[in-house]
């Protein structure tokens, strides 16, 4: 029987195929390019990148499985010494061409830690998905959250309201006092307890990850052919600046990768293709752009309970 880590790695390997095939067929023009990479200290990954498509301007769907001695920065973070680790996950960010189509991010990961005899001493799942629109379509936000909630509701271990709030808290550009987007789910350190096993978490993790395309693809289909202006593109590029600010200033995963000798190009695939910074830019009051900012400054409950 496969170990839990092997089972999860097999799952994300297959999921990478499913997601990239679907996105390629949606795009109709560009294909993902795959790069295999190896980590000197153990493990590696497969990065798949799409660029300059008709629907997707830039995106990556990456899987990795790395292992070895726990890097110093992680020893310090977890307050352990002389440990080994294994970490695997799938991570994706998709930046569409049309400003009416939101950027999406998802990550589903699994982590194991061992003592120096090789015994497993800790393990957990983490992950989530979140949506970053440039123009607000409330029904899209509700749809995305509904798919998240439905997956949570199918599993005793998962708590939609809690994961939704943690997403709002995490994907927050504190220095701007605004959310990165309209949220989704965020969960981490999901361990077994008296009521639930790791197998329960694995089932939720696989279920949520398997429904990523259901959360995102209908929105792409609905918005990808909407007309847009150069002003819409300018706004998209300005907002993409905020995406860069979040990822480089606040995102723990990105900073951790940059500090622990991760593969730079795979980590920074999350950065948008074209970005603008204008000094002290504010949308016109009452505009569609201002409506988005209003929601980012005041995160909403998208699903009425």
Q: Residues interacting with a second copy, by CB under 8 A?
A: 33, 35, 49, 51, 58, 60, 175-176, 237, 241, 244-245, 248-249, 255, 258-259, 264-265, 268-269, 271-280
Which residues pair with residue 112 across a beta bridge?
A: 86, 123
Residue 41 or 153 having the CB closest to a second copy: 41
Contacts of 195 (CB under 8 A, 6+ apart): 156
User: Judged by CB, which is closer to a second copy: 133, or 272?
Assistant: 272
In whole angstroms, how close is the CB of 282 to a second copy at the nearest point?
Answer: 10
Q: How far is the CB of 171 from a second copy (least distance, A)?
A: 16
Residue count (the chain): 305
Q: Is 211 a catalytic residue?
A: no
Comparing CB distances to a second copy, the nearer of 199 and 249 is 249
Give the number of other CB atoms < 10 A from CB of residue 144.
27
The CB-of-205 to a second copy minimum distance in angstroms stands at 27
**φ, ψ for residue 108, nearest 5 deg:** -135, 120
By DSSP bridging, strand 120-132 and strand 178-179 are unpaired
* DSSP letter (8 states) at residue 98: S
Dihedral, CA atoms, 252, 254, 260, 265, nearest 10 degrees? 170
Measured from the CB of residue 127, what is the shortest distance to a second copy in angstroms? 23
Element at 142 (helix H, strand E): helix 138-153
What is the token pair recorded at 157? 């271990």
What's 164's DSSP letter?
A: H
Which residue, 59 or 299, is less far from a second copy as judged by CB? Answer: 59
| DSSP labels, 18-86 | HHHHHHHHHHSS---EEEEEE-TTSEEEEEEEEES-SSEEEEEEEEEEEEEEPPHHHHHHHT--S-EEE
Of 95, 105, 143, 145, the catalytic one is: 105
Q: Which is nearer to a second copy, 116 or 259 (CB)?
A: 259
Q: How far is the CB of 17 from a second copy (least distance, A)?
A: 20
- Catalytic site positions: 105
């Amino acid at each position: 029987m496969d170990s839990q880590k092997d089972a999860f790695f097999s799952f994300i390997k297959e999921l990478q195929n499913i997601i990239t095939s679907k996105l390629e067929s949606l795009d109709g023009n560009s294909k993902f390019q795959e790069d295999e990479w190896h980590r000197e200290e153990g493990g590696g990954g497969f990065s798949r990148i799409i660029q300059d498509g008709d629907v997707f301007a830039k995106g990556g769907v990456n899987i990795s499985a790395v292992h070895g001695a726990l890097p110093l920065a992680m020893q310090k973070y977890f307050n352990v010494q002389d440990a080994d680790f294994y970490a695997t996950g799938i991570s994706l960010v998709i930046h569409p061409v049309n400003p009416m189509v939101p950027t999406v991010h998802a990550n589903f990961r699994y982590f194991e830690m061992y003592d120096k005899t090789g015994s497993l001493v800790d393990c957990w799942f983490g992950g989530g998905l979140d949506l970053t629109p440039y123009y607000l379509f409330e029904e899209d936000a509700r749809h995305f959250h509904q798919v998240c909630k439905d997956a949570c509701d199918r599993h005793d271990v998962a708590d939609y309201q809690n994961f939704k709030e943690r997403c709002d808290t995490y994907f927050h550009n504190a220095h701007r006092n605004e959310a990165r987007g309209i949220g989704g789910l965020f969960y981490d350190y999901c361990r077994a307890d008296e009521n639930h096993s790791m197998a329960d978490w694995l089932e939720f993790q696989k279920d949520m990850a398997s429904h990523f395309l259901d959360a995102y693809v209908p929105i792409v289909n609905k918005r990808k052919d909407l007309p847009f202006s150069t002003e819409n593109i300018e706004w998209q590029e300005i907002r993409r600046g905020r995406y860069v600010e979040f990822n480089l200033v606040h995102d723990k995963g990105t900073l951790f990768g940059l500090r622990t000798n991760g593969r730079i190009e795979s980590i920074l695939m999350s950065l948008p293709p074209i970005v603008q910074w204008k000094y002290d830019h504010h949308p016109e009051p009452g505009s569609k752009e201002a409506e988005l900012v209003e929601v980012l400054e005041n995160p909403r409950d998208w699903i009425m309970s």
